[in-house]
Amino acid sequence: MAKDRTSLQRFRQSADRGYQVQLHLDAARILARQGDAAGARRLLRAAIDADPACTEAWRRLAWLADDPHDRQAYLRQVLVLDPANTSARAGLAEAPQPVPVPPCLVVPAPPPARPVSTRLLLLLAVAAVAAVAAVLVWGPVDVSLAWLLPTPSPASTPLPTLAPGQIVAEFAPQLETALSQANWQRAFEIVDIMDSVDPGSDEVQRWAVTTHLTYGKALVEARQTTDALSQFDQALALAPDDSEATRWQLATRSFQSGQQALAAGDWTAAIETLTPVYDAIPDYPDTVASIAQAYRQRGIAYEQKKKYKEARTDLEAALDLQPGDAEAKTHLDAVMLELFPPKRIEIDIGDQHFYAWEGNKLVYSYATSTGLPGRDTATGHYHVLDKIPMAYSSVWRLKMPYWLGIYYVGRIENGIHALPIRPDGSVMWGGLLGTKQSYGCVILDTAAAKRIYDWAEIGTAVDIHY
């Protein structure tokens, strides 16, 4: 059973090879009729490469040979493969005869011989007939005798001759294979064959455009945009309305302009020319990185000019395109500190003073009261833990407006708040701010406490020191 499968496989391979040979023969025939002898010879050699025993390809190649010596060599190859081929024998018989010897070099004829007997003449005639017969069977013959040779019967039934459009369709799978394998030389050779066989047809034009476009895209991937642009231009020369070729042509031109702007440090021009490329072809090589670079560098330039809002916009755009851009992240952090400096509360127990900072800028400064001796406000580094518009102490039976909790003493939380309110509605420690008065909290007057309450956020740093 395995032997049968092997035989079938060989039969299929042989049939496929024979069909490809016939396809090249048909194409060569059309090119020869159109006067393209070089193209026809190229196809005939391809047929011979596929099947070196194809006598028809050798015979046609002989008729198209420019050099008489090549023609004779091809015809002899036909006779090697098919000794009875009358066409090859006749062709060899037509070969140029040896150049005659000039008269001045002719050797004088010998003196007349004695008469030959009738019996000897008969023997010579028989020998001459035998020699002619041998030449007719095994060697070159004269054209005048070629008609005596029998016409050989065909070895097999030839495949039907294909029309130009059919030949183009048969070459299409070979072209698709060449394109998929990035065999660009072979692809363009097949396109040339198609165009020679069926010039000007819509099908050939479509394949030519596809080949130029596919090769151009591969060149873009290889970062050879100048050569790629040439391929897109050639595709559009064949099909001016092809939307895909137009899209890649415009994108490539814009990409090249964008790269020139980057090299010149013109970040705005780079963004304006590269963004349309990204919009048209999001995966166009190096486009995302180039746009991110332009945004980052323009953002840094804005930062240096203290245009922090513009810098923030550009640096955030760069990070949206390339989240791992460490340089953009560093500069964005610096810009954000300028736009939104960190808030910090400072309480000086020695001076009984309250300070509110944004970065290095002092935004609020108020007199304050901290804990009495024995109930001292604790020094240290804290953060605002919570915000309560009106807190209440069940221990002291006091209301504490605009509460900002900062640390715990056991289960009791100390914080920053306005002047406390007794149950009867009276306010404690009014007029005493600037001296130690509280039970451990940091006291501000009511107006100041409200401003700080609105300004501070949960998490705002609080530093208490002497």
Domains of the chain with CATH codes? 15-95+136-143 (1.25.40.10), 164-336 (no CATH), 343-465 (2.40.440.10)
- Tens-level pLDDT at each residue, the chain (466 residues): 433 333 334 333 444 677 778 888 888 888 888 788 888 888 888 889 888 989 988 988 888 888 888 888 888 888 888 888 888 887 887 766 544 434 433 334 444 444 444 554 555 554 444 444 444 444 443 333 333 334 444 444 455 678 999 999 999 999 999 999 999 999 999 999 999 999 989 999 999 999 999 999 999 999 999 999 999 999 999 999 999 999 999 999 999 999 999 999 999 999 999 999 999 999 999 999 999 999 999 999 999 999 999 999 999 999 999 999 999 999 999 999 999 999 999 999 999 999 999 999 999 999 999 999 999 999 999 999 999 999 999 999 999 999 999 999 999 999 999 999 999 999 999 999 999 999 999 999 999 999 999 999 999 999 999 9
Q: How many Cβ atoms are within 10 Å of 163's Cβ, its own excluded?
A: 13
pLDDT of residue 88: 82
- Strand order through the sheet with 343-348: 361-367, 353-358, 343-348, 461-465, 380-383
Nearest in space to 193 (alpha carbons), one of 14, 45, 19, 16: 45
Reading the block at residue 149, the tokens are 């040779």
Find out whether 46 and 24 touch, Cβ atoms under 8 Å.
yes
Q: What is the DSSP string of 210-244?
A: HHHHHHHHHHHHTT-HHHHHHHHHHHHHH-TT-HH
Contact 165, 194 (CB under 8 A): no
Instruction: For strands 343-348 and 461-465, give the pairing.
Output: parallel
What pLDDT is recorded for position 5? 38
pLDDT score of 43: 87
Report how far apart, in Å, the C-alpha atoms of 225 and of each of 213, 220, 231, 286, 390 are: 13, 5, 10, 12, 69
Structure tokens at 154: 């065909």
For 291-425, list the strands marked E by DSSP. Answer: 343-348, 353-358, 361-367, 380-383, 386-393, 398-409, 412-418
Contacts of 228 (CB under 8 A, 6+ apart): 216, 217, 219, 220, 248, 252
181 φ/ψ angles, rounded to the nearest 5 degrees: -95, 5
Cα–Cα distance, 47 to 44 (Å, whole number): 5
Rg (alpha carbons) of the chain, rounded to whole number:
50
pLDDT for the residue 147: 30
Instruction: Please report the pLDDT score of residue 153 as a whole number.
Output: 42
- Mapped onto helix, strand or coil, the DSSP state of residue 85 is coil
Q: What residues contact residue 393 under an 8 Å CB cut-off, 6+ apart?
A: 400, 420
**Backbone torsions φ then ψ of 208, nearest 5 degrees:** -65, -45
417, 405 contact by CB (below 8 A): no
Residues 418 and 408: beta-carbon distance below 8 Å? no
- Quick one: pLDDT at residue 71? 86
Contact, 293 vs 275, CB < 8 A?
Answer: no
Nearest to 398 by CA among 374, 435, 432, 424: 424
The contacts of residue 346 (CB under 8 Å, 6+ apart) are: 354, 355, 356, 357, 463, 465
Which tokens sit at 464?
């208490």
State the pLDDT at residue 16. 63
Distance CA 203, CA 168 (A): 8
CA dist., res. 69 & res. 67, Å (int):
5
